[in-house]
Every structure is written in C-alpha cells, then in structure tokens.
Amino acid sequence: MHRILDGAEAEEVGARSEKELFGGRLRTSHGMTRHEGAAQGARFFMMLRQLPALLRRTVQLGWRADRKTLMVFFVAEVGQGAAATYVLLSINTILASLFMGSTTWEHARSSAPSLLYIGSASTVSAFLRAISTGATNRLGPKVEKLAATDLLRRVVRVELTSLEDPDFRTLVDSAQPGTISAGRMIGHSAAIIGGAVSLLAMGGVLAILHPVLLPLLLFVVIPKGWGAVRNARRSYQFMQSRVEHIRQQQALGRLLTEQHGAAELRVHGAGAYLLAHYESMAAGGEAEQSRISRNATLTELVASAVSGVSTVAAYAILAALLATQHMAMAGAATALLAMRIGTSGLQRLVMSINQLYEQALFFNDWRRACNEAELRAMTTEGKSITGPFRAMEVRRVSYWYPGTKVPAVRDVSLSVRPGEVVALVGENGSGKSTLAKIMAGLYVAQAGSVYWNGIDIARANRHEMFQHIALLTQDFKHYPFTARSNITISDTRKSDDVNALKDAVSYADLECLFNSLAHGWDTVLDRTFRGGQELSGGQWQRIALARAHFRDADLVICDEPTSSLDPKSEIQAFEKLRALADSGKSVLLITHRLASARHAEQVVVLAKGRVVDIGAPEELLGRPGTFRDLYMMQAAEFGQADLPL
C-alpha cells in the first residue's frame, strides 16, 4: 500500500522526477500568462472595477453566439425583478392592513384580491426564471464553441517559429481552460444581471421603509465576498504555477496510453518507470492542492463568522428601530422579509461576481492567447504572387533559431528553375531541413533574401506562395482519417476531383493497397478507430507521395521522401520525382542517398549551415570535395569503388 506523503515530501519526490526526465526543476514562471490581477492580488474593489468590462465582454460573446436567446434572457430577467418588487410591496400593503389592529372579516376580504395578484406575480416570476435558465443553458455551450474556434482559427495562422516558442505554447495551453470559462461566464453574468435586477428591487423597497436598512444589508455580505475573492485568487495562482507541470504530466500520460511507441515501451519496460514518475509528479500537485483547500476552508470560516456577527447586529438595529418607533410593525415585518431575501440574493450576487472573476482570469488568458496569435499571424498582405513559377533565387541567406547564437544556415545562395531537381545533401544537422523551410516560406531569414519570380518572399503574400508549393517532410502527418482524405487533404479545394485522386494513387503505386483495404478508399487509417486499419511505414510514405502529387504544385519540396521504402520502391520513387521535374515542375530534394542525387540538375552540399560544394553532379564527382568523398564512402559500402564518371 502506498504511504501518503506529506506536502514537503511530495514536492521533493515530484522535483526529483522532473529533474530526471526533464533536466531540472520546472520554472514556475508564468511566462506570457502572468495576469496582473492575480499577481497584484485580486482585491475586491479592483474586481468590482473590472466588472462592467467583464460583463460587456461576456455580453458581446453572447451576442455573437446567439443574439435572439440573449435578448430573451434580458427580457426574462427584467420581468422577474419587476415581479419581485410588486410581490414585496403588495405584502407590505397586506401586512399594514393586518397590523391596523382590527383583523375583521372585511379586512381579510379586502386583502384577498392582493393575495391573488401576489400568487399570479409569483407564477409569472417562476415562469420567467425557467425561460432565463433555459436561455443561459443554451448560450453557454454556444459561447464555449465560439471561443474554442476563435482560438484555433488564430493559432492555425501563426508563423511556424511561434509554435516552436515554449512561451507561446504555454500561453496557448493555458488558454484552453479559458474557452470553457467563456461558456461558464455566460451563466455567472446571467446570475449577476438577474441578481442585480432583483437586488435593485429589494434595495428600493428597503430604502422606502428606512434608509439605514440598505447599508446593513452590505455589512452582512461583504465579508463573504472578501473570502470568496481571496480563494479565487489562490486557485488561479495555483493553476498558473502548475501549467508547465501539468503539460509535462499530460505528456507522460499520453506516452503511456498512445499507440505510437507502445511496443518499445513494453519491451524496454519503460511503462512502469514512466508511471512511477507520473505518480510522483502528480503527488506534488496533490499536496499543493490540499494545502490550498485547507487555507480556503480557513478563509471561509473567518468570512462566515464576521458575516454572522454582522447579521446579528443588523437584526438588533431593526429591533431598536421598532422599539424606538422609528418604524411601524408592518414595515419591520416587510423589512425582515426583504432583508432575508436581499441578503441571500446579495450573497448569491457576490458569489457570482467572484465566480465570474475567477473564470475571467482564465478567460483573460484566452484573450491574451488570441491577441498574441493575431500578432504572430503570417501576414496575408504583401506583394501578390501570381502567374506560373519562373525562378527561385536564394541570396546570402542566414537563419538563427530563436535563442541560439550559432546560425543553422549561413550565407547560403542557390537557385531553382522550372524542370529542375535540386538536391540538398550533407551530414546530419548541416541545415538542410532548415534551408528547405526557409525556401518554403515557413521561416523568414534574418539575413539575405529569397526571391520567388523576383519578389522577395519576406514582403510577399506567403499564403499565395504556398499555393504553388507541395511539402513532403520526414515527419509527414499520418492523419487518423480515411485513405482518401489522407491524400486529398493536400488540396481541399479539389477534394472531390476523382480523376486527380486516381492519378495520385497511380503515381504512388497505391492501387493494389487501396483495393485490399476493408472499405477501400474510405478505410480509416488508424487502428484506434473502429474499422480502422494501420499501414506499414513504406505504405504511409507512398500515401505522402500521393498527397504531394495530388497538390499539383510548381515546387515540390521533399525532405527524405524515401527513407522507409524498399530498394526497388525507392529507385522508382526517385524516378517518379525525376519524371515530375521532366514535366515542368521543380523538385527540391533533401536526401542522404547520394546515388539519387546524381539525377539532379544541381547538387548543393551543406556543412555546418554553409554551402561547401555546389554544381552539377558529374562536376562534383569529377573533382575532390565533400560530395565526392561522401559518395565514395556510400559506394564502397555497396562494393562499387569506381565512380560513375
């Protein structure tokens, strides 16, 4: 049986796991997600100051999600407030009549219609409450969906470098709860608006009865509000300090459950090892959460005690007003009723404000992520790229990954023309993939320029440029969709074009495979879905080839496109890429198979980010240099010492 660890022990065990797996104790920095309110301390009045803006934002979201339902909600809430005022004032009239002293049959009879009206007003109020609850329940999910899609729409457009930036990733991750918060804020805002309307009604009645009753109401409720806000701040700060931990814990959880890598995990016995670390990392969070709950209970107790004392004082003052004849009996009875209703209403109001504020802290992360994603979006402006591809010129380009001092690509120049295969070769880490991403317009070089048909792509509309490019990378996506969608996803504008699909399938020699799939082209290529099927690595690579072909782009960028193919298929694949170039397309080919580079018009050899050799393959093989050395090394491995000169 597991021994329950105390807080310090659990923290220590969690820290050990983090060090072993992730190289150190995690930063508890909030990165971009630091929220001023939580950092300064969410003071009650600061919260009240923010309330109008919060309500405005929630209403705006509700308006965007479903304006008709929002209007219905408002009408129902105002109606409830009016009904509550009417009921209370009518009760006061009846009580006044009863306390006149003579409880005669006439008095009772004259009160009967008022009682009937009170009953009707209460029924209407209940009816309106049901309508406003229904409207709130309908709006919440709609707003949540709106917030989630708003965020995804923005994130999907950001520059690739932003997705590799850990701060931005943390921000996007911590914005996820914010989308749920947006939905919840509708409910809390509804409660605030409804509560404020009925409180205004109660306050109005109390003010009519005696002005001192109004501040009394506040004294009872303010301590509760203070406690709630204090706890909201704690739980937000806790969540923020654990965002990084939670991400890493979730990564461990995924490793334990996902199919990819499951075989290795079992054979190497890494499952139990990772599970143990998962448990110890979770223990740290658990201990912290228990500490926060203890503090929250303490705060609640203090708040309830102070509020209790205020309630006793309020009733004592009411009794004093009655005793000193500053208030009539009927008025005191109505005031008691209004105080009772008002106190619980005000308490609910304070709680709703607090809950709205708590959700707003997460919602603000969502807003921050949306704004940041907007700032990091790839521009859709710039010079238009139209007409067929004529040339790409790379001139003295250098690129540094964010936070690195050594450039991954330095001072590189080359060109690509229609009908050419340009092969990028070089050792691991020499900068080939980075250069390909720069040429694809995914990274913007810090020095030098890339020109597409003479237009500097840093100043061009890159979305238009992408329409001319197909990308086939080493880590191409295995979409958990049908075989058909896995190919047509490269150009969704023509996903119904059966002839283009057939061409792509035939290009990648996939006919036999597709005919053998249980549901043909409609088979889902993921075993974790019912009826799904898994493919081999080589078969997946053919799907990726078909995907690139389906796009029918001017420039095809292939990063190690054949690493999983058998020798025969590999030779065929290179022949197909050659044929693609012969049909007028351009191919940028990254490969470690130097024999295949021989079919290129131009070979560019990279070392430590620099071009160390460039020229036609025969030319490079004919003179001493890196390409010739590497080629000889590979040839010797296959027992072909002679160069194919």
Contact residues toward ligand ATP (CB under 6 A) are 164, 401, 404, 408, 426, 428-434
> What is the smallest separation between the CB atom of 607 and ligand ATP, expressed in angstroms?
9
CB-count burial class (<10 Å; 0-12, 13-18, 19+) for 83: buried
Cα atoms in the Cβ-side hemisphere of radius 13 Å centred on 416? 29
Q: Is the CB of 349 or the CB of 436 nearer to ligand ATP? A: 436
Residue 450 pairs in a beta bridge with: 394
Residue 308 or 402: the one with the smaller Cβ distance to ligand ATP is 402
Element at 421 (helix H, strand E): strand 421-426
Least Å distance between CB 587 and ligand ATP? 17
Instruction: Report in angstroms how near the CB of residue 574 gets to ligand ATP at its nearest.
Output: 18
Which residue's CB is nearer to ligand ATP, number 42 or number 606? Answer: 606
Handedness of CA 490, 494, 498, 503 (dihedral sign): negative
Closer Cβ to ligand ATP, 324 or 404, answer by number: 404
Name which of 404 and 499 has its Cβ closer to ligand ATP: 404
Residues 431, 609 contacting (CB under 8 angstroms)? yes
C-beta of 100 vs 633, nearer to ligand ATP: 633
Q: How far is the CB of 372 from ligand ATP (least distance, A)?
A: 19
- Give least dist CB 591 to ligand ATP, A: 9
DSSP letters, 257-274, are H-STTHHHHHHTTHHHHH
Inter-residue contact 349 to 192 (CB < 8 Å):
yes
At its nearest, how many Å lie between ligand ATP and the CB of residue 461? 25
Nearer to ligand ATP, 424 or 457 (CB): 424
Name the minimum Å distance from CB 614 to ligand ATP.
16
Please say which residue, 427 or 456, places its beta carbon nearer to ligand ATP.
Answer: 427
CA distance 284 to 270: 22
Q: Sign of the CA dihedral 310, 313, 319, 320?
A: negative
Instruction: Report the DSSP beta bridge partners of residue 614.
Output: 604
Judged by beta carbon, residue 416 or residue 424, the one nearer ligand ATP is: 424
Which one, 22 or 74, has the nearer CB to ligand ATP? 22
Cα separation, 136 vs 188, in Å, equals 9
Strand ranges, E, within 441-565? 447-452, 455-456, 469-472, 555-559
Tell me the longest C-alpha to C-alpha distance in the chain. Answer: 125
Nearer to ligand ATP, 475 or 642 (CB): 475
Shortest CB 434 distance to ligand ATP, Å: 3
C-beta of 508: minimal distance to ligand ATP in Å? 23
Nearer to ligand ATP, 480 or 625 (CB): 625
Distance of CA 353 to the CA centre of its chain: 25
Q: Any idea how long the chain is? A: 645
Burial 418-442 (b: 16+ CB within 10 A, else e): eebbbbbbbeeebbbbbbbbbbbbb
The DSSP string of 428-447 is: TTSSHHHHHHHHTTSS--SE
CB of 613 to ligand ATP, least distance (A): 15
Q: Record the tokens describing residue 180, joined without a space.
A: 């749920």
CA distances from 583 to 294, 418, 501 (A): 72, 9, 18
For residue 99, give the DSSP letter.
T
Pairing mode of beta strands 421-426, 586-590? parallel
**Closest CB to ligand ATP among residues 408, 543:** 408
Sort 398 into a burial class: Cβ within 10 Å, 0-12 / 13-18 / 19+: middle
Q: Which is nearer to ligand ATP, 162 or 231 (CB)?
A: 162
End-to-end CA distance of the chain: 72
Bridge partners (DSSP) listed for residue 470? 556
Q: What are phi and psi of 158, to 5 degrees?
A: -75, 160
Task: List phi, psi (to 5°) of 605.
Answer: -100, 125
Q: Under a CB-based contact definition with an 8 Å cutoff, are residues 635 and 643 in contact? A: yes
Smallest separation, CB 412 to ligand ATP (Å): 11
Strands 447-452 and 421-426, bridge-based pairing:
unpaired
The rounded Cα 639 to chain-centroid distance in angstroms is 54
Minimum distance of ligand ATP from residue 609's CB (angstroms): 7
- Say if CB 443 and CB 399 are below 8 A apart: yes
